[in-house]
């Protein structure tokens, strides 16, 4: 029997498709606008109350360059989560992996735990395809 000098790959690769709930997406949107992105942007328009998820949006401007205007929607949040979970955007998911669990639907709406910093990074991933600020 020969001795294997290289580390054996014991990983399993699989693809998983999930759909985060509208409530979770709207909560991340709200958290980002109310506390997460305020250090790099100013909000000029914000519509979220009593609207269908497809109608929720905010218009923000770069704090250092008011000419840079961005529209944030629920789709921005969905794309940000997808890019982080797929590792398209490098982001430290933390010890508990709450953002990843949130995105793939492991955590229920009552159990998920993320903070304003996570919401900010989800928005940045969705808007820019990378983490630009912070």
Read off the pLDDT of residues 103-113 as tens digits, 9 standing for 90 and up.
Answer: 555 555 565 66
The alpha carbon of 12 is separated from its chain's Cα centroid by a whole number of angstroms, namely: 25
Read off the pLDDT of residues 73-117 as tens digits, 9 standing for 90 and up.
Answer: 999 999 998 888 777 887 665 555 556 555 555 555 565 667 888
Q: How far apart are CA 56 and CA 73, in angstroms?
A: 6
Task: Spell out where the chain has E strands.
Answer: 41-47, 57-62, 69-73
Range with lowest mean pLDDT among 8-12, 111-115, 124-128: 111-115
Break the chain into its structural domains and give their ranges: 22-128
CA R_g for the chain: 18
Q: Is the pTM of this model over 0.75?
A: yes
Contact 61, 76 (CB under 8 A): no
Task: State residue 132's pLDDT score.
Answer: 92
């Amino acid at each position: 029997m020969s001795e294997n000098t290289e580390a054996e790959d014991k990983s399993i690769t699989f693809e998983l498709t999930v759909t985060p709930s509208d409530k979770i997406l709207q909560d991340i949107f709200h958290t980002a606008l109310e506390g997460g992105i305020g250090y790099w942007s100013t909000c000029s328009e914000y519509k979220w109350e009593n609207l269908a998820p497809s109608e929720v949006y905010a218009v923000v401007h770069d704090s250092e360059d008011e000419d840079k205007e961005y529209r944030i929607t629920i789709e921005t949040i969905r794309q940000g989560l997808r890019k982080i979970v797929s590792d398209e955007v490098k982001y430290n998911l933390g010890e508990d992996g709450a953002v990843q669990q949130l995105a793939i639907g492991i955590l229920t709406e009552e159990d998920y735990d993320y903070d304003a910093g996570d919401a900010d990074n989800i928005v940045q991933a969705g808007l820019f395809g990378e983490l630009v600020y912070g």
